[in-house]
């Protein structure tokens, strides 16, 4: 890592370098954050340090849905009010947060932690896909089988292909497989929609 000045104490350099490793933070922002912490009261640094340590020591992946959690199974998986026969498959934990914010989903989740992308060396075995299939098999052997799997991966080339791969794996499992609809954003303007979104919205039009 490049450091602006050789005369800086090693402890300062170490923090600048540590910040600079984070995504979206360049050498300049890293220095600015470090100098802010140097000037701020000690509590600020100590709280941050505690939070950083807890982040790794207290969290783990939920053994059911593989979302990040502090207790296992997670809040959602252990909630009897949720519909456990409805599984929404997402790429990342942040996608769970986004869908929860909509307050319109009452089922449970499964987090893949990525998408299939041979270019980046990610194959199906690098995702939490086996866990999904095992989870469905296990549920189907009980009196509470999975009714529906909603594939909510992103509408990118890799997201679409990951969804299509899962759909192939679930064919014949007796589970309904659905994909999130694609269309116009609410509050948007037809005039500014791109051609592909618009044509998908037309294909997916519904009776009123």
- Which positions touch another protein (CB under 8 A)? 26, 116-119, 121, 123-124, 157-158, 160-162, 164-165, 168-169, 195-196
The span from the CA of 107 to the CA of 96, in Å, is: 11
Q: Is the CB of residue 115 less than 8 Å from the CB of residue 123?
A: no
Q: CB burial class (10 A; 0-12, 13-18, 19+) of residue 131?
A: middle
- Closest approach of another protein to the CB of residue 23, in Å: 13
Write down the residue that tokens 């769970």 correspond to: 96
Residue whose C-alpha is closest to residue 112's, from 161, 70, 173, 56: 161
Q: Which is nearer to another protein, 43 or 191 (CB)?
A: 191
β-strands 60-61, 68-69 pairing: antiparallel
- Closest approach of another protein to the CB of residue 30, in Å: 14
Q: Which is nearer to another protein, 53 or 168 (CB)?
A: 168
Q: Which is nearer to another protein, 83 or 126 (CB)?
A: 126
- Closest approach of another protein to the CB of residue 208, in Å: 30
- Closest approach of another protein to the CB of residue 182, in Å: 16
Could you give the 3-state DSSP secondary structure of residue 173? coil
Report which secondary-structure segment, H or E, holds 129.
Answer: helix 129-140
Q: Is the dihedral of CA 45, 47, 50, 55 positive or negative?
A: negative
Q: Which is nearer to another protein, 124 or 188 (CB)?
A: 124
Q: Which is nearer to another protein, 28 or 53 (CB)?
A: 28
Q: Which is nearer to another protein, 69 or 162 (CB)?
A: 162
Rounded to a whole number, what is the distance in angstroms from the first to the last CA of the chain? 59
- Closest approach of another protein to the CB of residue 138, in Å: 21
The span from the CA of 127 to the CA of 111, in Å, is: 9
- Closest approach of another protein to the CB of residue 147, in Å: 23
């Amino acid at each position: 890592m490049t450091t602006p000045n050789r005369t800086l104490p090693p402890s300062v350099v170490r923090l600048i370098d540590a910040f600079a490793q984070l995504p979206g933070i360049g050498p300049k922002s890293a220095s600015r954050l470090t100098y802010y912490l140097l000037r701020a009261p000690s509590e600020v640094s100590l709280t941050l340090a505690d939070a950083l340590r807890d982040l790794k020591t207290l969290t783990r992946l939920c053994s059911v849905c593989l979302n990040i959690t502090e207790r296992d199974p997670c809040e959602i998986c252990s909630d009897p009010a949720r519909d456990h026969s409805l599984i929404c498959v997402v790429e990342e934990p942040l996608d769970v947060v986004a869908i929860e914010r909509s307050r319109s989903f009452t089922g449970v989740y499964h987090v893949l932690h990525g998408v299939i992308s041979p270019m980046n060396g990610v194959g199906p075995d690098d995702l939490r896909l086996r866990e999904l299939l095992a989870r469905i098999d296990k549920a189907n052997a009980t009196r509470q089988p999975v009714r529906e799997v909603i594939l909510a991966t992103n509408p990118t080339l890799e997201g679409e292909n990951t969804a299509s791969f899962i759909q192939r794996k679930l064919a014949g499992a007796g589970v309904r497989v659905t994909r999130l609809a694609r269309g116009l954003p609410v509050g948007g303007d037809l005039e500014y929609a791109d051609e592909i979104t618009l044509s998908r919205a037309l294909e997916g039009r519904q009776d009123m």
